Structure 1
């Protein structure tokens, strides 16, 4: 079955809603509730792990070899490291992101007594006081502090209002959806991927598309700290496709338009057969795509493999400019990803042997080994002639 039509308005509405719910890793209960409610609205029953990873199964003609798609609902953030004598808060990052992008960020601090607003600032923040020292100050988490929007001038003031070490800090996304299709926001990684999953699911349900095998829709809650898809897979799943951001930057092939198929990341190559099937589906369905390799990157699929899951893995991404900073992508990339997901989940099963966790060599895959041939006929050389 070819790719399905994607409702871009629904995709953007999902993304806008998800961005409005703070969810730094470790503080994801409310976004999990939102995703579960939307699945139920679509008529899909969801089940949750103890900590809140979500699994929803859309039944196909057979149970195995099931396919799964996964994206993560957690985002970057911070935690309070210490209450400072000047009434400000020392913070450490949740996930890997630079303090360069934290400077100036508006934030919410969640205490046991309630939430407070604040701003992450460099310690030398006043140009009228420090003059050029503002420009030469070093960058790093030890050089920023969180100014709370409350009357707190001492550590005792912070304690009185209920602040404590370990409080979670969420960073405002500041989203802008432009008329030309560009989407600018923090936390597109990976709330845009979650929105893609919902858009693909909505299209499959709306069109009544038939699936050859069960499709598992997985939402992880701790990808930014490396846990990701480690505890949400079942043994029925034979292939896992992660949806996440790709790094659109100099030296990379990723793009803010079309699908970026990752061939490898820092954990190694993705599955040969699954990756090339996705590329064929892009070609056959006229979905723009490019291929890339990521050196400083891992996704939900890596944690699934490290947890012992014997599944084929692939990673398809929406190109993001300034990943883990003020991120930007385009609706074209998100729509293309959703189209590819629908084309994949409705496509025939090619490796029937994957239905069993362990079996003999019969039906096992092959990879090409023969020498490549030129695209044109070789030129026959003229015979060498000597002079008479």
Structure 2
């Protein structure tokens, strides 16, 4: 028995986080995933929402599994081209303005041109603004300084920048020699990298799966509905692979796989959770059970949309979610191992 090469997984995650993909503008990263899977002759199809579904036939085609991870990220959209030649933003996803203050960004126009900029407080200059440190970090006070010679709205529009253009944040990814990976958008591209490596291994090594298994690379999770469709009637178990949330009172860490007991949507399926714990213990996989108080997943979206499924949620532990995120290679490894054994285990029928 062998697991996917963890360094290859980390390198793949680095590629994924480096592709801009705020919710609503994910074609480039979905195309990247599509091409990755095509190299191994994996059957894929896009749904109308733009997500990607890969299917591996199993020994039992009457009962299916589905696993999902989302490739869309937090981001922003141009709300207003200001008279000063700067941009007002509207946020995409659940995060705070203070987490993007000072961040480099890209503005992608509808024609496909890309410009760079920096997200700043209007009152940034301490030599001019007395309230530079105390002014509220909100939509009114924060703006994008475009890296072009523009001083009016007309000059900005001449570049092709307009209301509705997508803004993505510099991931600032770093792979450290002691095993840490720091980057924006590890939520949830770390999980996408894990699933892609597992799909590759299953195919290359000809591993038999007990059940036909679908892998949904969803592209609308950050706005709440990425995984609530394209679930086959035969699907019994539905496992979301998404980040484990860390903070005061949490047991999740950066070194184990987090198994979610409950989030803001309510408890996850008790028997599936116990089965995941059993698999972890039988295979000496480091894990933590946890509750995420302000969280929802593609699995909870699927339940809310009325699907009659057994749902669960696991993922690598990630520090400082929706801001400057970090995890460790050991968490990637433990998550990979648990999914590897889950895919080959008996289902709760």
* TM-score between both structures, scaled by the size of structure 1: 0.87
Which of these residues, 83, 86, 106, is aligned with residue 85 of structure 1? 83
2:140 alignment partner in structure 1: 142
Partner Cα distance (1:106, 1:11) in 2: 26
Q: Secondary structure at the match of 1:93?
A: strand
What's the Cα RMSD here? 1.3
2:122 alignment partner in structure 1: 123
**CA displacement, residues 186-228 of structure 1 (integer Å, 9 cap, x when unaligned):** 0000000100101222232343322111111111110000011
Whether the 8 Å contact between 1:238 and 1:311 is mirrored in structure 2 is yes
Which of these residues, 234, 238, 246, is aligned with residue 240 of structure 1? 238
Q: Secondary structure at the match of 1:218?
A: strand
1:200 alignment partner in structure 2: 198
Q: Secondary structure at the match of 1:297?
A: coil
Whether the 8 Å contact between 2:87 and 2:143 is mirrored in structure 1 is yes
1:4 positional shift = 4.1
1:151 alignment partner in structure 2: 149
Q: Secondary structure at the match of 1:277?
A: helix
Whether the 8 Å contact between 2:316 and 2:327 is mirrored in structure 1 is yes
**CA displacement, residues 360-386 of structure 1 (integer Å, 9 cap, x when unaligned):** xxxxxxxxxxxxxxxxxxxxxxxxxxx
Aligned: 1:349 with 2:337: no
Q: Secondary structure at the match of 1:136?
A: coil
Partner Cα distance (1:204, 1:55) in 2: 16
Partner Cα distance (1:49, 1:16) in 2: 26
Whether the 8 Å contact between 2:3 and 2:340 is mirrored in structure 1 is no
Whether the 8 Å contact between 2:237 and 2:347 is mirrored in structure 1 is no
- Give structure 1 stretches of 5+ with no counterpart: 352-388
* TM-score between both structures, scaled by the size of structure 2: 0.97
Q: Secondary structure at the match of 2:133?
A: helix
Structure-to-structure mapping, 1:52-131, within 5 angstroms: 52-113=50-111, 114-130=113-129
Partner Cα distance (1:348, 1:295) in 2: 30
Whichever of the two has the greater Rg, that structure is: 1
Q: Secondary structure at the match of 1:239?
A: strand
1:183 alignment partner in structure 2: 181
Q: Secondary structure at the match of 1:303?
A: helix
2:216 alignment partner in structure 1: 218
Partner Cα distance (2:115, 2:57) in 1: 44
The 3 A distance-change label for structure 1 pair 154 and 267 is same
The 3 A distance-change label for structure 1 pair 271 and 339 is same
**CA displacement, residues 82-138 of structure 1 (integer Å, 9 cap, x when unaligned):** 1111110000100011101110111111113411110100111112323x5222121
Whether the 8 Å contact between 1:242 and 1:315 is mirrored in structure 2 is yes
How many residues of Structure 1 are paired with residues of Structure 2 in the alignment?
A: 348
2:5 alignment partner in structure 1: 7
Aligned: 1:309 with 2:304: no
Which of these residues, 277, 280, 283, is aligned with residue 278 of structure 2? 280
